[in-house]
Every structure is written in C-alpha cells, then in structure tokens.
Amino acid sequence: MTYDPGSDARLDPRVRAFLQAIPAPVAVSVASRDELVSEAASPEGRARESLYEQFVAICDTEEVASSEGLRFEDVSLMSSPDGNEILLQVVRPDTADEVAAVYYIHGGGMATSSSFHGNYRAWARIVAANGVAVVSVEFRNSVSPGRVSEVAPYPAGLNDCVSGVNWLFENAGRFGIDSARIVVAGESGGGNLALATAMALKRQGELVRIKGVYALCPYIAGRWPDDRFASSTENNGIFLNLHGNYGMMGYGVEAFEASDPLAWPSFATVDDVAGFPPTVISVNECDPLRDEGIAFYRLLLSAGVAARGRQVLGTMHGIELAPILCPEISRDTARDLAAFATS
C-alpha cells in the first residue's frame, strides 16, 4: 500500500504539508555500484543533483541562519591512506575565547550530497551561534561527487572522516578550538560515519581524541526492511523508501556481506563500542531508520557507555537539516548538540 502522508496523524502539520507537496519516494534496486555511478554521472543524474542543490539553497540565507558574530575559514588537506584531497569548512564564534568543536559529517547515505549545500551551511551557522566551532568535512562520496570530485566506495569516506578529525585534533589551536572538547556528529549517512569514526579511532588507539559522539537518525543497517526494526516497514515511504538495495550497493555490499561494523554499525557488538565517550542517539518518530538508531543506543547502554537517547515526535527523517520547515526543532537540536559539546 502506498503511504499517504495526509492521513498520518502523527506528523507535524508542516511536515505533512511538505510530504504531500513532493513526489513519493521510490525504492531503487540495481545490479552493481557501477550502474549507480554511471547514472549519477549522466546528464539526467547531474540535472537532478543540480535541482536538489538549488532547492536546499533556499535555507542559506541570513534570515534562516545569521552569520553575525561568526567567522569562517576553508581548509584543504590530504587524507590518509590514499593521499586524496578533502576539505574542511570552519565556522566559529568571532571571539578570542577557546571553544569546543562539533566535527560535522553530512548525510546522503555516504553516497551523495555535500557540506557546501545551502542547508548544511545554514546548519553550521545555527549550531555555531550557540558558542561552539563547527567543522564540516567534505569527504569522498561513494556514488555522486560533492565539492570533492572523486567518488569511491567504503572505506574511502570513512578514511576521509577519520583523517579530518585527526587533523583537527592536531591543529585545533590554529582555530582557537579546545582539542579536549571535540565532538563528532552527523545525520543519516553522516550518523553512520560519526559512529564508524569513533569505532575506527578506537581500533587505532586514538579514541581519546574525541570527547563525544552525536548521531542523528543514523543510517546503519545496510539492508531494509529488517525484521529487527519495525520502523523499517511501518515508516517506509515517509520521505525515504529504503526497500531497494541502493545504499548497500552504493557504499559497500562486500562490507555488508562481511558484517563489517565500520561500514554498517548495526553489526557492532558490545566489544566494538565499549569505551566510547558519551554518546547521543537522536531519532525522528516517523522515520524508517528510527528503530535501528534506538537499538544502537541500547547497545551502547549494554556496553556501559554514557549514552542518551532522544526522539523528536511528529517528524520525518533528518528534519533538523531542513531548518526552514520546522525552525524551532532545528534550533532545539542545535542547542542540544552545542551544549553536549561544551558540557
């Protein structure tokens, strides 16, 4: 049965109206990653990406997110072990005070999107306005390029995210950032990469470089529907239709088949997350991914991690990254994220 947002009484009326105004999402299944990359590089794929970028650009205004009292810097650096270029965007309060930092990883299923898109640039300002630095990493997507032109499957994007946070830790003083207060955060695919970055740092013996993790609506199961997670069926079709194989094929089908938790953190065990710093898992009520996020929160608790869970009622997947839709929800989560980093 096709999902009808107009009849879903759980939804905030603004979210309901938005979902009724856009095309219903469709499931995507392909034979290989090459098929996805080829389609994304086609004229039709590039036109679709350009249209999306124009749409989210409406968030990038002073009315939505003021730049007053903030300063900005872009940095290019080399990622390890491949020697490729990645980019960091730094937004911080324009003061001499040393501040905590949110190292933010954009969503897009590890496959698409860019931290340079208007909604992410606005989000960085909204978070930074709460007295923290926001450092957004532009990593290699697995399917469609962002500002970094190269695309590559797992573990490329994860390696880039780990390289970026290591560089930030080592160069924090350059930006007036307290290296003892760096939090890794991200939504959706960025939530996946935030959790995976922490696990990778743990394996490298460098987990002390971050003081916390804040994952919003993490995209971590790899295959949907999943009988363990009722929301993957009950909420499918609400903004996302996950009942294909796009995510697994685009990012890392071999890693999925190998049950690799660094690619798909739902495979993580207590041993994988034991010793994590304080971690927040934030989910959206009407999201197909809701229950896999809750399950990861419970895994953290079972490992003795100082974990906190939060659920935003009435919302679809990643609502915070659409700050023109429900601005008070975006700002509430931004305040919580900033307070987590500074506390």
- Which residue is listed with tokens 């709460």? 130
- What CA–CA distance (Å, rounded) separates 211 from 101? 10
Question: Which sign does the torsion angle of CA 147, 151, 156, 157 carry?
Answer: positive
SS3 of 110-150: CCCCCCCCHHHHHHHHHHHCCCCEEEEEECCCCCCCCCCCC
The pLDDT, as a whole number, for residue 2 is 77
Question: What are the tokens at 56?
Answer: 């989210």
The answer for residues whose C-beta is within 8 angstroms of residue 53's C-beta and 6 or more apart is 114, 117, 118
Per residue in 225-263, pLDDT tens? 999 999 999 999 999 999 999 999 999 999 999 999 999
Question: What are the tokens at 46?
Answer: 């590039």
Answer for the pair 188, 216: CB distance below 8 angstroms, yes or no: yes
Answer for the pair 280, 212: CB distance below 8 angstroms, yes or no: yes
User: Above pLDDT 90, what percent of the chain?
Assistant: 99
The pLDDT, as a whole number, for residue 69 is 98
- What CA–CA distance (Å, rounded) separates 39 from 113? 15
Q: Which amino acid is at 135?
A: V
- What CA–CA distance (Å, rounded) separates 52 from 146? 12
pTM for the whole structure: 0.98
The CATH code of the domain at 5-342 is 3.40.50.1820
Question: What are the tokens at 127?
Answer: 């978070």
Per residue in 139-168, pLDDT tens? 999 999 999 999 999 999 999 999 999 999
Direct distance between the N- and C-terminal alpha carbons of the chain, in angstroms, rounded to an integer: 46
Question: Which sign does the torsion angle of CA 112, 116, 122, 123 carry?
Answer: positive
The pLDDT, as a whole number, for residue 1 is 64
Q: Which residues of the chain have pLDDT under 70?
A: 1
User: What number of H helices and E strands is found in the chain?
Assistant: 12, 8
